[in-house]
Amino acid sequence: MLSIGVLVLPLAQVQSQADYKPLSELASDNISLYTLDGLSPEAIYNYGKKIPSIKTEEGIELPKEKEFRLLTSTTNPENIDELAKLYTIEFMATYDLNFSDRGHKSRLVNQLYKLTLK
């Protein structure tokens, strides 16, 4: 039994991603969090509750808050550029929920922005 612990523990440390950041850390403050283009089920589960989307069938529905965070998995900056007309946009962090580089899934990578009304 001891030999299993000695072998498995070092392997677990090798496989974990060094810059892993859980989305759950965003739930600890009072700044609202929205998504632009939908998120993976893993991202929602990691955050711990539903994240409302500002993108609707009619277009983008702007939040009432003067300051909020936007989590997006898109690499398509047009929507971000559209929001930049009304908001000051600050890139905050990248949240990569992949456990390791092996079998990397791009849908598990999200960018976090802080938007403040101009």
Task: Tell me the pLDDT tens digit for each residue of 77-92.
Answer: 677 888 999 999 999 9
d(CA 70, CA 117) in angstroms, rounded, equals 13
The pTM for the full model equals 0.77
Structurally, how many domains does the chain consist of? Answer: 1
What are the pLDDT digits (tens) for 36-61? 877 888 889 989 999 999 988 888 89
- Residue 39 within any structural domain of the chain: yes
| Boundaries of domain holding 77 | 19-117
Residue 111 burial (10 A CB sphere; 0-12, 13-18, 19+): middle
